[in-house]
Protein backbone atom coordinates (compact mmCIF):
# COMPACT_ATOMS: atom_id res chain seq x y z
CA UNK A 1 0.00 0.00 0.00
CA UNK A 2 1.21 3.49 -0.78
CA UNK A 3 1.84 6.09 1.92
CA UNK A 4 -1.33 7.77 3.20
CA UNK A 5 -2.19 11.12 1.57
CA UNK A 6 -3.69 12.47 4.78
CA UNK A 7 -2.35 11.35 8.12
CA UNK A 8 -3.15 12.46 11.66
CA UNK A 9 -1.42 10.87 14.63
CA UNK A 10 -2.49 11.55 18.19
CA UNK A 11 -3.95 14.82 16.92
CA UNK A 12 -5.44 17.10 19.56
CA UNK A 13 -7.04 20.52 19.22
CA UNK A 14 -7.67 22.78 22.19
CA UNK A 15 -9.43 26.09 21.79
CA UNK A 16 -8.82 28.03 24.99
CA UNK A 17 -9.71 25.72 27.87
CA UNK A 18 -11.78 23.42 25.73
CA UNK A 19 -10.47 20.27 24.12
CA UNK A 20 -12.34 19.73 20.86
CA UNK A 21 -10.94 16.27 20.23
CA UNK A 22 -7.80 14.47 21.27
CA UNK A 23 -5.64 11.56 20.25
CA UNK A 24 -7.18 11.39 16.80
CA UNK A 25 -5.54 8.84 14.52
CA UNK A 26 -6.52 8.87 10.91
CA UNK A 27 -4.92 7.83 7.65
CA UNK A 28 -6.52 8.31 4.26
CA UNK A 29 -5.17 6.64 1.19
CA UNK A 30 -5.78 7.26 -2.49
CA UNK A 31 -9.40 7.60 -3.52
CA UNK A 32 -10.87 7.20 -0.05
CA UNK A 33 -14.12 8.98 0.86
CA UNK A 34 -14.34 9.91 4.53
CA UNK A 35 -17.54 11.41 5.91
CA UNK A 36 -17.07 13.46 9.07
CA UNK A 37 -20.22 13.39 11.19
CA UNK A 38 -21.32 14.64 14.58
CA UNK A 39 -23.29 17.35 16.32
CA UNK A 40 -22.57 21.06 15.81
CA UNK A 41 -19.58 22.45 17.67
CA UNK A 42 -17.66 19.20 17.96
CA UNK A 43 -14.87 20.35 15.70
CA UNK A 44 -15.78 18.93 12.30
CA UNK A 45 -14.93 22.17 10.53
CA UNK A 46 -11.90 22.59 12.77
CA UNK A 47 -10.59 19.29 11.44
CA UNK A 48 -10.73 20.77 7.93
CA UNK A 49 -9.00 23.92 9.17
CA UNK A 50 -6.23 21.78 10.61
CA UNK A 51 -5.80 20.10 7.22
CA UNK A 52 -5.82 23.52 5.54
CA UNK A 53 -3.10 24.72 7.90
CA UNK A 54 -5.31 27.42 9.41
CA UNK A 55 -5.56 25.91 12.91
CA UNK A 56 -2.49 24.37 14.57
CA UNK A 57 -2.65 21.13 16.53
CA UNK A 58 -2.14 21.37 20.27
CA UNK A 59 -0.56 17.92 20.25
CA UNK A 60 0.17 15.15 17.80
CA UNK A 61 1.07 15.47 14.15
CA UNK A 62 -0.62 15.99 10.81
CA UNK A 63 0.62 15.57 7.27
CA UNK A 64 -0.98 16.12 3.91
CA UNK A 65 0.82 14.25 1.17
CA UNK A 66 3.85 13.86 3.38
CA UNK A 67 4.26 17.46 4.54
CA UNK A 68 2.69 19.49 7.37
CA UNK A 69 -0.28 21.49 6.07
CA UNK A 70 0.17 25.17 5.28
CA UNK A 71 -2.34 27.76 4.10
CA UNK A 72 -2.24 28.26 0.37
CA UNK A 73 -1.14 24.70 -0.35
CA UNK A 74 -2.35 24.11 -3.92
CA UNK A 75 -2.50 20.36 -3.22
CA UNK A 76 -5.53 20.90 -1.05
CA UNK A 77 -8.85 21.69 -2.73
CA UNK A 78 -11.48 23.28 -0.53
CA UNK A 79 -15.22 23.34 -1.15
CA UNK A 80 -17.10 25.43 1.44
CA UNK A 81 -20.80 25.45 2.11
CA UNK A 82 -23.03 27.49 -0.13
CA UNK A 83 -23.26 31.14 0.86
CA UNK A 84 -25.60 33.95 -0.02
CA UNK A 85 -23.95 36.42 -2.38
CA UNK A 86 -25.46 39.84 -2.84
CA UNK A 87 -27.54 40.00 -6.01
CA UNK A 88 -25.57 42.92 -7.41
CA UNK A 89 -22.11 41.67 -6.40
CA UNK A 90 -20.00 42.38 -9.50
CA UNK A 91 -18.52 38.90 -9.74
CA UNK A 92 -19.37 36.37 -12.44
CA UNK A 93 -19.25 32.62 -12.09
CA UNK A 94 -16.01 32.49 -14.04
CA UNK A 95 -14.40 35.12 -11.79
CA UNK A 96 -15.15 32.99 -8.75
CA UNK A 97 -13.70 29.92 -10.45
CA UNK A 98 -10.64 31.83 -11.60
CA UNK A 99 -9.71 32.64 -8.01
CA UNK A 100 -8.81 28.94 -7.88
CA UNK A 101 -5.88 29.59 -10.24
CA UNK A 102 -4.44 32.87 -9.07
CA UNK A 103 -6.71 34.53 -6.50
CA UNK A 104 -3.89 34.56 -3.99
CA UNK A 105 -1.36 36.19 -6.31
CA UNK A 106 -0.58 39.90 -6.28
CA UNK A 107 -1.49 42.07 -9.22
CA UNK A 108 -4.37 42.94 -11.51
CA UNK A 109 -6.90 40.32 -12.57
CA UNK A 110 -5.45 39.90 -16.04
CA UNK A 111 -5.32 36.40 -17.41
CA UNK A 112 -3.28 34.60 -20.00
CA UNK A 113 -4.98 32.65 -22.75
CA UNK A 114 -3.78 29.42 -21.13
CA UNK A 115 -5.53 30.34 -17.89
CA UNK A 116 -8.71 31.20 -19.73
CA UNK A 117 -8.64 27.85 -21.49
CA UNK A 118 -8.11 26.00 -18.22
CA UNK A 119 -11.04 27.85 -16.65
CA UNK A 120 -13.24 27.10 -19.65
CA UNK A 121 -12.30 23.43 -19.51
CA UNK A 122 -13.11 23.05 -15.83
CA UNK A 123 -16.37 24.99 -16.22
CA UNK A 124 -17.29 22.56 -18.96
CA UNK A 125 -16.32 19.58 -16.80
CA UNK A 126 -18.71 20.57 -14.00
CA UNK A 127 -21.44 21.58 -16.44
CA UNK A 128 -21.34 25.27 -15.54
CA UNK A 129 -20.56 26.75 -18.95
CA UNK A 130 -24.10 28.06 -19.41
CA UNK A 131 -24.04 30.33 -16.40
CA UNK A 132 -20.31 31.12 -16.25
CA UNK A 133 -20.94 34.75 -17.18
CA UNK A 134 -23.93 35.34 -14.91
CA UNK A 135 -23.49 37.23 -11.64
CA UNK A 136 -22.95 34.72 -8.81
CA UNK A 137 -25.61 36.44 -6.71
CA UNK A 138 -28.26 35.29 -9.18
CA UNK A 139 -27.24 31.64 -9.23
CA UNK A 140 -29.03 28.88 -7.37
CA UNK A 141 -27.29 27.00 -4.57
CA UNK A 142 -26.63 24.01 -6.80
CA UNK A 143 -25.13 26.15 -9.55
CA UNK A 144 -22.93 27.93 -7.04
CA UNK A 145 -21.64 24.67 -5.63
CA UNK A 146 -20.70 23.41 -9.09
CA UNK A 147 -18.60 26.58 -9.45
CA UNK A 148 -17.04 25.91 -6.04
CA UNK A 149 -16.04 22.46 -7.14
CA UNK A 150 -14.66 23.83 -10.40
CA UNK A 151 -12.65 26.35 -8.37
CA UNK A 152 -11.25 23.62 -6.12
CA UNK A 153 -10.43 21.33 -9.07
CA UNK A 154 -8.45 24.05 -10.88
CA UNK A 155 -5.62 23.66 -8.40
CA UNK A 156 -5.47 19.97 -9.37
CA UNK A 157 -5.70 19.02 -5.70
CA UNK A 158 -4.24 15.88 -4.17
CA UNK A 159 -6.87 16.04 -1.44
CA UNK A 160 -10.41 17.42 -1.52
CA UNK A 161 -11.85 18.98 1.64
CA UNK A 162 -15.59 19.67 1.65
CA UNK A 163 -17.37 21.57 4.41
CA UNK A 164 -21.12 20.89 4.26
CA UNK A 165 -21.20 21.43 0.48
CA UNK A 166 -24.75 20.09 0.24
CA UNK A 167 -26.28 22.34 2.87
CA UNK A 168 -29.41 24.13 1.63
CA UNK A 169 -29.37 22.29 -1.71
CA UNK A 170 -32.35 20.47 -3.17
CA UNK A 171 -32.13 16.72 -3.76
CA UNK A 172 -31.24 16.93 -7.45
CA UNK A 173 -28.41 19.40 -6.79
CA UNK A 174 -27.18 17.32 -3.85
CA UNK A 175 -26.89 14.35 -6.15
CA UNK A 176 -25.19 16.31 -8.94
CA UNK A 177 -22.65 17.89 -6.59
CA UNK A 178 -21.85 14.63 -4.83
CA UNK A 179 -21.39 12.91 -8.18
CA UNK A 180 -18.85 15.55 -9.25
CA UNK A 181 -16.86 15.04 -6.07
CA UNK A 182 -17.01 11.29 -6.48
CA UNK A 183 -15.84 11.59 -10.09
CA UNK A 184 -12.78 13.49 -8.99
CA UNK A 185 -11.72 10.90 -6.45
CA UNK A 186 -12.22 8.07 -8.91
CA UNK A 187 -10.42 9.76 -11.81
CA UNK A 188 -7.59 11.48 -9.93
CA UNK A 189 -7.55 9.36 -6.79
CA UNK A 190 -7.92 12.41 -4.53
CA UNK A 191 -9.17 11.30 -1.13
CA UNK A 192 -12.21 13.26 0.05
CA UNK A 193 -12.85 14.55 3.56
CA UNK A 194 -16.52 15.41 3.58
CA UNK A 195 -17.99 17.22 6.59
CA UNK A 196 -21.75 16.79 6.75
CA UNK A 197 -24.60 16.51 9.20
CA UNK A 198 -26.52 14.22 6.86
CA UNK A 199 -24.78 11.04 5.82
CA UNK A 200 -27.61 9.63 3.71
CA UNK A 201 -27.08 11.69 0.53
CA UNK A 202 -23.43 10.59 0.34
CA UNK A 203 -23.84 7.09 1.74
CA UNK A 204 -23.28 5.29 -1.60
CA UNK A 205 -19.81 6.84 -1.85
CA UNK A 206 -18.65 6.73 1.76
CA UNK A 207 -15.82 4.34 2.58
CA UNK A 208 -15.45 5.32 6.21
CA UNK A 209 -17.05 7.70 8.68
CA UNK A 210 -15.40 9.68 11.43
CA UNK A 211 -17.97 10.41 14.10
CA UNK A 212 -17.13 13.20 16.55
CA UNK A 213 -19.17 13.79 19.71
CA UNK A 214 -17.99 16.14 22.45
CA UNK A 215 -14.34 15.19 22.42
CA UNK A 216 -14.95 11.51 21.72
CA UNK A 217 -14.57 9.98 18.31
CA UNK A 218 -14.98 6.75 16.41
CA UNK A 219 -13.87 5.78 12.96
CA UNK A 220 -14.80 2.89 10.71
CA UNK A 221 -17.12 1.86 7.90
CA UNK A 222 -20.69 3.17 8.09
CA UNK A 223 -21.89 -0.31 9.02
CA UNK A 224 -19.42 -0.43 11.91
CA UNK A 225 -20.03 3.03 13.33
CA UNK A 226 -23.68 3.71 12.61
CA UNK A 227 -25.04 1.23 15.12
CA UNK A 228 -27.13 1.77 18.24
CA UNK A 229 -24.30 0.44 20.36
CA UNK A 230 -21.50 2.65 19.02
CA UNK A 231 -23.53 5.85 18.91
CA UNK A 232 -24.99 5.28 22.37
CA UNK A 233 -21.45 4.92 23.67
CA UNK A 234 -20.34 8.08 21.87
CA UNK A 235 -23.26 10.22 22.96
CA UNK A 236 -23.43 8.71 26.44
CA UNK A 237 -27.21 8.44 26.13
CA UNK A 238 -29.34 5.77 24.64
CA UNK A 239 -29.54 6.13 20.87
CA UNK A 240 -31.21 3.83 18.39
CA UNK A 241 -30.00 3.54 14.83
CA UNK A 242 -32.49 2.18 12.35
CA UNK A 243 -31.71 1.39 8.75
CA UNK A 244 -34.67 1.93 6.47
CA UNK A 245 -34.36 1.59 2.67
CA UNK A 246 -30.60 2.18 2.69
CA UNK A 247 -30.97 5.26 4.86
CA UNK A 248 -29.82 5.58 8.42
CA UNK A 249 -32.19 7.11 10.94
CA UNK A 250 -31.00 7.98 14.40
CA UNK A 251 -33.59 8.09 17.14
CA UNK A 252 -33.08 9.07 20.72
CA UNK A 253 -35.42 9.10 23.64
CA UNK A 254 -34.03 12.48 24.61
CA UNK A 255 -34.68 15.49 22.47
CA UNK A 256 -31.26 17.00 22.90
CA UNK A 257 -29.48 14.94 20.25
CA UNK A 258 -28.33 17.95 18.27
CA UNK A 259 -27.28 16.66 14.86
CA UNK A 260 -27.21 13.18 13.60
CA UNK A 261 -25.77 11.21 10.77
CA UNK A 262 -29.14 10.59 9.22
CA UNK A 263 -32.44 12.29 9.48
CA UNK A 264 -33.93 13.27 12.81
CA UNK A 265 -36.65 10.77 13.37
CA UNK A 266 -38.62 13.41 15.22
CA UNK A 267 -38.26 15.86 12.38
CA UNK A 268 -39.93 15.77 9.06
CA UNK A 269 -37.48 14.62 6.45
CA UNK A 270 -39.92 13.30 3.96
CA UNK A 271 -37.91 14.13 0.84
The C-alpha atoms of residue 186 and residue 160 are separated, in whole angstroms, by 12
Angle formed at CA 29 by CA 31 and CA 32, multiple of 5 degrees: 35
* Integer CA distances (angstroms), 257 to 42, 116, 253, 254, in order: 13, 48, 9, 7
Q: Which residue's CB is nearer to other proteins, number 23 or number 135?
A: 135
Q: Binding residue for other proteins (CB under 8 A) from 2, 88, 229, 256?
A: 88
Task: Determine the interface stretch with other proteins among 24-32, 56-64, 88-96, 197-205 (rule: CB under 8 A).
Answer: 88-96
Q: Is 192 in the site for other proteins (CB under 8 A)?
A: no
Q: Is 168 in the site for other proteins (CB under 8 A)?
A: no
* CB of 24 closer than 8 Å to CB of 8: yes
Minimum CB separation of residue 43 from other proteins in Å reads: 17
The C-alpha atoms of residue 60 and residue 201 are separated, in whole angstroms, by 32
Residues 194-213 that bind other proteins (CB under 8 A): none
The C-alpha atoms of residue 198 and residue 267 are separated, in whole angstroms, by 13
Closest by Cα among 20, 161, 138, 157 to 81: 161
Q: Binding residue for other proteins (CB under 8 A) from 90, 113, 114, 245?
A: 90
Q: Is 30 in the site for other proteins (CB under 8 A)?
A: no
Q: Which residue's CB is nearer to other proteins, number 148 or number 217?
A: 148
Q: Binding residue for other proteins (CB under 8 A) from 31, 60, 80, 220?
A: 80
Q: Binding residue for other proteins (CB under 8 A) from 52, 57, 176, 206?
A: 52
Q: Binding residue for other proteins (CB under 8 A) from 41, 60, 135, 220?
A: 135
Minimum CB separation of residue 257 from other proteins in Å reads: 28
Q: Binding residue for other proteins (CB under 8 A) from 3, 15, 59, 71?
A: 71
Taking residue 9's Cβ as centre, other Cβ atoms within 10 Å add up to: 15
Residues 104-133 that bind other proteins (CB under 8 A): 104-109, 130-131, 133
Q: Which residue's CB is nearer to other proteins, number 141 or number 222?
A: 141
Minimum CB separation of residue 71 from other proteins in Å reads: 4
Q: Which residue's CB is nearer to other proteins, number 10 or number 103?
A: 103
Count of residues in contact with other proteins, rule CB under 8 A: 39
Q: Is 167 in the site for other proteins (CB under 8 A)?
A: no
Q: Is 92 in the site for other proteins (CB under 8 A)?
A: yes
- Binding interface with other proteins (CB under 8 A): 52, 54, 70-73, 76, 78, 80, 85, 87-92, 95-96, 99-100, 102-109, 130-131, 133-135, 137-140, 148, 151
Amino acid sequence: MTAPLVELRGATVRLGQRTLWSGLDLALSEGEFLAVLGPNGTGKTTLLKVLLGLVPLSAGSVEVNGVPPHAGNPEVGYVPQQQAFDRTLPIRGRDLVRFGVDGHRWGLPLHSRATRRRVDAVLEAVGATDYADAPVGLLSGGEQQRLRIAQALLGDPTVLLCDEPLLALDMASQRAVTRLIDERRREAGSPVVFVTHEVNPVLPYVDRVLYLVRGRWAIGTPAEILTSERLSALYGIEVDVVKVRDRYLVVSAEDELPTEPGAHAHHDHAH
